[in-house]
Structures are given as structure tokens and as C-alpha cells.
Chains A and B, each alone.
Chain A
């Protein structure tokens, strides 16, 4: 088995996400590698949504355009996705409901609703019937599905769980008896470690919590709402304070207030919300308050394409806010990377007392990956120059913004006896009070701008593929999986291609990039935006030009196939 692709499609409100998640979880339970992505519209009912699941015995890094098994919950899904079916691809649907008459070998009619009513007494179980039918088509172990359904639905009630299992079984058995065609391959659980199935938002939230974030304030905005919600749900059990703010301005000001008082704090938003946070972002810079902002990118400008993906905010976050001050920008590759990178984000924020942006996007936020269990022993909490009450009490005449060689000042917290912590959004003296002094101004600017010196050495991009390859694919953030797969596939075809991928972008690792691009003949920047923002940043910071660009800005994720086609048509030519 190389790989197998499921696609579940239907209207918003039909439960696509639930079926998709159950399928993905059931396959992951069989120790297979799973990647699942979502395509949905900005509406609660109607329209067309789909959930794509790619499964393999080998690691899968990104999504695919191919469909081996289409689970269609409405007629439109059949119309839209039949062309994506592979040679042995099959579409399964409820003929009675969708009124699809045509019966060719690639189509299989299962009366989802009728079976649901017959076995579990309610048509709401039709989706579960479909799930059973789908897994029956690939001859997957029914017991695993039964186990997953029970786990997921027993939270509602034992009865609901049992009804779901019965419905799934009806779909499974009906298919066993009636399907006479052929599917691309069968799927069987494999030996090997059980992995977790997690999406980008969950990994960000869990990573933040493990990194010691205790305060989260946010205003719901796609695609980052899941982070706020996940942390909110865990707040009582794990002593977090999570507050839904009245707007994004309040959200970041709150995170800054909590951090100034001494707890690790964050907010999460999208581009529109971040635009409202811009002034507070500079407040964090001026007051040297550590804070982490997760920016889940979606296509702009303005409200844009609310439920789709883009990497359009890189230059925005590099230049965000009035005035000049240091910041750091990270961009996770996938869910696994997101978990560990949140730790890095909080450590950098406190070590340098700066705002840190973690750039994700809708594709990363909503997509699921199977990854090895997160290794909590790798989590290191480095709070930098944060003083304990005892340490602070030993300092005579403590001042918050003391000039130091590194530019980072020891940080006491309000409430420490004998110490006063004073800071100001106005230009200030070392003790945090307003000043008009030109001399202090110059020293303070230097402190705020250059205190991250040396941090660029921790921002090393990832090199992958044959070292001597003359063609280099460059990219950042969530395009990692697609670029990596494209590199593998092209090398298999005899092309010599390597990858240079960034999950940390600022301060820009100039020397490392110049070094990594030595000897390169073709440099191909691959980004989900229209203007190739990283190409521009890279040229500004290193003087190196890209020779080619592969860009996508239709709101859909870049895939390995997209890259390979563009490479063959444009780059190679």
C-alpha cells in the first residue's frame, strides 16, 4: 500500500467534520500515518464542504488532490469530486436521498438514511452508516471503528454510543454483502507505535500550556478560535485563566497586563484581529513586556476568504507597529513542530523581553497529522532575567529598564516587597518614568532594537534532500510537508532538488541562509501568497535573488503535486 485517499463531502451542517474526524481517528488507531485537511465555507448551513484524509503505512506530510474513496453526503459532492477519483476510485452515496440514477462500477449506493432509521431509529445516524460503509469498502477492521465511536459518543450517553455502533455496523455489513466492485486497495492496521492524531490549533494550545502559558485572552476569529476554545476547556482542570476579550485590542492589552504582572501570557487571532493589535504590539516592544501572539493567517485583504488559507502576513508581522523595536517571528511546519515551537516562542519572549509572533495559517490550524507522542521531557522553561522575590530584594534601587550589556534588564514583578516596577509607553528613563532626554532616548532605542543580537543563530532553516543538488526549493511555515514531498518525488524521478525551509524567520538568519544557498543554481521560492514575501525579505537581508517562484493564492493549500507540476512547466523550462 502506497497511500489511500478518502474524501467526505457535503453541505455545512451535515456533519462532515465529525465523519472525517472519526475516519481519521479510526485509521490512526491502526497505527497508520494519517493526514487530514478541511475545505469549508464561511457559513453554518449549506454550501459545499469537504474533509480529505490521506493515509499510508509511510509518513504523509501534506494533503493530496487524489481521491480513492469519495463519501458523498449530497449530490453536489458527486458532481464536484468524481473527476478527482483515481482509476479504481469509488464514490459511495445514498441514492435514495441524492437521486443519483447513474450506476457505473465506480459508484456505490448505500441507503444511509434508511439503514440509520432501521437500526438506530433516527436518520441522524446516516453519517455513521456512511462511515461504516467506507471502512467496509477497504475491508478495515470494524472493531476499531466500534471502539472509536464508543469513545467519542459515550460522552453524550451510552445509548448514543450504542446507536452509533449499530448504525456503523449496518453500513459495514450492507457494503460487505452488496458491493461487487473493486477499490484501489485494502487497509489493514499495521504494527508499530500508536501515534497521536492532532490538528495545528490543538498542538499550539497544548504547546503553549506545556510551555507554562497561564493566561490567554482572545477574541474568536477563524482560523484561531480553536486555540482559545481548547484552552478555555482545560482552564478549570489545569489552573489557567482564559478570558474572552471584547475585541482584539483588549485581547493583546490583557495578555500584556498579565505578563507584566508575571505570568506567561498569549493571545491568538487572524490578520484582521492582529491589525487591531498593532498598537498594543508596539506597547509590548516599548515596555519590554514578553508576550506571544499566534497569528493564524487567512487570505485578506480585509475579511477576505475567512475559512481558507494563505501566507500573506509575513511582511506585515516583520514591520508591524510604529517605531523600531526587536521582535521574533516563528512559523511552525506542522502540528508536531507547532507543539515544540510554542515552547521556543515563550522562552524567546521572556529571554529577550519582546513580543513574539507565531505565524500559522488556516491549513495548519485545521489539518490533522499523526505524530509521535509529544516528548514533554524536551520542554525547557527559560524565563530569562526574571527575578525571584528574594533576588529582587537584594538589588539596591531596582529599576525596571536598567541599561545592561545585553540590553535585557533584570525583571522584577509588581508586588515584590521593597521593589517598585515602573514602565511606560512613553519614552522613559531606566526607572520607567517619562523622559524628554535625547541622550536617554538614544540608549533606549539601541537597547530595544538590538537586544536580540545573537538570536538569529537560533533561527536556522532546515536543509533537506541531496546536499549537492543545484536546485533549492525554499519555503516557510505550513508548506513544509508539500515541499518535502515534492523534493522526494522529484529526486525519485531523477531531478536533483533540495529544500531550505524556515520555521523561524525573525531575526532573519542571514549568515545561515547565505551559507546554505552557496553553490545553488536555481532558487525556487514556494509560498502561499501572490507577491512572494519571503523572496523579498531574503533578498533584502542577504542580497540573494530567487530565480523562480511557485506561488499559490487561491486560498487552497499548496500540495506536492502543485509544486511538481509548476516545477516541470516553469522552472525546468
Chain B
């Protein structure tokens, strides 16, 4: 039986009170509840405070480049689709530097679960605006306030036809555990945008700011299979912020669509050089 102790990692280097702690707790808890062992998990993380998360637990880890988690995770899943592959990064990593990969990973519907720690600020570089910083927010890089429209990750993912789009809040661990479990059980790509207060550099979107605003989808009569309703819901931000599964759709994941890996994972297949000898006939 898998226990929390199996996932117990070393010392963290996050600031006291950081919103990331809730995410770390939730990830470990979800994996334990799903009875997944650490060796079955591969986390691919980027650069930023979020990218450090897998270092503070136990699992296979590829901590790669800023913004480039998704291509690495995609290929890892294709090379061994029996692994539970997660990509972990922040809003700068995923919505800024890695924007193009997000677009195309959504299109691929690869079975990678993407956790975005969205704190609406750059933490590791000490306080510049991020792609999701609210309009007017004064940061070190926006002394007159943010003037560019914030990126709406939920609407973006929905517009691209994502098969699983959710938002959660690091201040609500049970909710986040639930979202991660649903994402893992989902066939294909899952985006979880996680609202995560930065206690040092973001004095606007604080724990209490979020707590006053977030409410759970699914407690009413919300239908997560209605794409248009989801898109409408995705526009809600400010006074009230919905969290939960915005949209969910069942369709084949990318790894199911390669004949080469229909049965045996690619990594388990032996190298057989001689099988290519017959191709020589094409050149005769």
C-alpha cells in the first residue's frame, strides 16, 4: 500500500507561507489516494518556484528548461505510456515562455497532466508581471500598472478544444486533491490552473483575496460537458472566481493513436536492426 511517507521529500526552499505548499500537499495526497507508487510517476518540471515542487517529494523527475515542460513530458509519455506523466510549472513558464507548447499539447491531447501554479506574478525573479497579472497591477516591470490584457488560461484551453480544463485553489487542498484525481483518471491531456498566492511579491491576489472570491462549480447545476457554457463561465473573474472542472470530454489520447505503441510501450520494445534490411529493396 502506498502511503504519504513514500512521497516524503527533503527540505523545501520556498518562502514561509507560500501558496506552493498547499499544492505539494495535494499532489502527494492525490497520488496516495490513487494508489500510485512514486516509481510510476514522472514529473517534468520547468523553472520558477513551481518547478521545484517535484524536488520536495519522491518520484522520477526531469526538471528541464523554463517553458519547455510539455514537449519533454509529451515525448516521455509516448516513450513509456505506462508512466503517470505530470508537467509542473508556473504561469510564466506555461503561459509565457511555453505558450506555443501549451497550444500544441492541447491539440495533441496527450495523456499528460499539467499543473500550473498560477500566482499572477514572477516569484523567482522577484516580482515582475506575469501573463496572468491583473490589469493595473503595479509590479517591478509595470510601474504604471499592467496594461496588457491578462491571459485567460481556461478560455484559451477551451478555445483550443482541450479535453479537460479545471481550476483549483492552493488554499483549498481537498478541492485540489479532487481535481488532480479527476485529471489522472481522465483520458488525455488535463490542464489544472491552480490559483496560488505569492506571499512575497503579490500583495493584490492574496489568500484572503482569493478566499473571498472563489466558489465551486458543480455545487449548482453546472454541466461540464457543455463547451459553450464552459467558455462563458471562463469569463468570470473579479468579484467571483469559479473553481472546479470547467469542461471535460472523452476522446482518444495521443498515445492511443500511434500503431507502434498500441500494446507494448516503446521503451519495452527491443532494438531489431535486421528488420530494416528489407527496406534496402526499395533502393535497388
Residues of A within 8 A of B (CB): 194, 196-198, 202, 206, 209-212, 214-215, 217, 234-236, 238-241, 243, 245-247, 249-251, 253-265, 279-280, 283, 287, 373-374, 376, 379, 381, 413-426, 432-434
Our pick among B61, B64, B101, B267 for the contact of A263 (Cβ within 8 Å) is B267
Our pick among B64, B80, B274 for the contact of A262 (Cβ within 8 Å) is B80
In the assembly, what is the distance between CA of A223 and CA of B40, in Å?
A: 40
Encoded as 1 (CB less than 8 Å from any A CB) or 0, chain B from 49 to 92 comes to: 00010010011111111001011111110111011000000000
In the assembly, what is the distance between CA of A134 and CA of B21, in Å?
A: 76
Task: For A250, give the chain B residue with the smallest CB separation.
Answer: B71
**Residue pair A283, B269 in contact (C-beta under 8 Å):** no
Q: Which residues of A contact B78 (CB under 8 A)?
A: 215, 241, 243, 258
In the assembly, what is the distance between CA of A239 and CA of B272, in Å?
A: 11
Would you list 9 pairs from A and B whose C-beta atoms are within 8 A, ordered by A residue? A235-B260, A241-B261, A256-B72, A257-B73, A263-B267, A280-B68, A373-B284, A415-B40, A434-B13
User: What are the nearest 7 A-B pairs in CB distance?
Assistant: A257-B75, A212-B271, A257-B72, A414-B60, A261-B79, A253-B71, A196-B283
**Residue pair A283, B71 in contact (C-beta under 8 Å):** no
In the assembly, what is the distance between CA of A424 and CA of B44, in Å?
A: 10
Q: A236-B260, A250-B71 are in contact. List 20 more A-B contacts (CB 8 A).
A: A196-B284, A206-B276, A206-B279, A214-B79, A215-B75, A234-B279, A238-B260, A243-B78, A253-B75, A254-B74, A260-B76, A261-B76, A261-B83, A283-B65, A414-B42, A414-B80, A415-B42, A422-B55, A425-B47, A434-B13
Q: Which residues of A contact B59 (CB under 8 A)?
A: 420
A214-B269, A215-B75 known; A423 vs B63 contact (CB < 8 Å): yes
Q: Which residues of B contact A373 (CB under 8 A)?
A: 280, 284
B259 in contact (CB, < 8 A):
yes
B103 in contact (CB, < 8 A):
yes
B208 in contact (CB, < 8 A):
no
Our pick among A235, A245, A247, A279 for the contact of B65 (Cβ within 8 Å) is A279
How many chain B residues touch A (CB < 8 A): the figure is 53
- Interface SS of chain A: helix, strand, loop or mixed? mixed
How many residue pairs link A and B with beta carbons under 8 A? The number is 188
**Residue pair A198, B276 in contact (C-beta under 8 Å):** no
A423-B63, A432-B61 known; A261 vs B75 contact (CB < 8 Å): yes
Task: For A217, give the chain B residue with the smallest CB separation.
Answer: B75
Encoded as 1 (CB less than 8 Å from any A CB) or 0, chain B from 247 to 284 comes to: 00000000000111100001101010111110110011
B16 in contact (CB, < 8 A):
no
Task: For A251, give the chain B residue with the smallest CB separation.
Answer: B71
Q: Which residues of A contact B213 (CB under 8 A)?
A: none
Q: Which residues of A contact B3 (CB under 8 A)?
A: none
**Residue pair A241, B260 in contact (C-beta under 8 Å):** yes
**Residue pair A263, B266 in contact (C-beta under 8 Å):** yes
**Residue pair A209, B258 in contact (C-beta under 8 Å):** no
**Residue pair B280, A196 in contact (C-beta under 8 Å):** yes
In the assembly, what is the distance between CA of A398 and CA of B70, in Å?
A: 27
In the assembly, what is the distance between CA of A414 and CA of B80, in Å?
A: 9
**Residue pair A202, B283 in contact (C-beta under 8 Å):** yes
In the assembly, what is the distance between CA of A184 and CA of B8, in Å?
A: 82
A215-B78, A235-B260, A415-B40 known; A209 vs B68 contact (CB < 8 Å): no
Task: For B67, give the chain A residue with the smallest CB separation.
Answer: A249
B211 in contact (CB, < 8 A):
no
Task: For A195, give the chain B residue with the smallest CB separation.
Answer: B284
Q: Which residues of B contact A210 (CB under 8 A)?
A: 273, 276
Q: Which residues of B contact A214 (CB under 8 A)?
A: 79, 260, 266, 269, 271
**Residue pair A250, B104 in contact (C-beta under 8 Å):** yes
A243-B75, A246-B100, A253-B65 known; A261 vs B280 contact (CB < 8 Å): no
B38 in contact (CB, < 8 A):
yes
**Residue pair A239, B269 in contact (C-beta under 8 Å):** yes
Min CB distance B279 to A, Å, is: 6
Q: Which residues of A contact B13 (CB under 8 A)?
A: 434
Most A C-beta atoms less than 10 A away, residue of B44, B273, B276, B283: B283
**Residue pair A254, B42 in contact (C-beta under 8 Å):** no
**Residue pair A424, B267 in contact (C-beta under 8 Å):** no
**Residue pair B101, A250 in contact (C-beta under 8 Å):** yes
Min CB distance B83 to A, Å, is: 5
B10 in contact (CB, < 8 A):
yes
B216 in contact (CB, < 8 A):
no
Q: Which residues of B contact A283 (CB under 8 A)?
A: 64-65, 68
Q: Which residues of B contact A376 (CB under 8 A)?
A: 273-274, 276-277
Q: Which residues of A contact B61 (CB under 8 A)?
A: 420-424, 432
**Residue pair B276, A415 in contact (C-beta under 8 Å):** no
**Residue pair A381, B273 in contact (C-beta under 8 Å):** yes
Min CB distance B95 to A, Å, is: 16
Min CB distance A49 to B, Å, is: 23
Most A C-beta atoms less than 10 A away, residue of B38, B68, B280: B68
**Residue pair A433, B55 in contact (C-beta under 8 Å):** yes
B240 in contact (CB, < 8 A):
no
**Residue pair A421, B60 in contact (C-beta under 8 Å):** yes
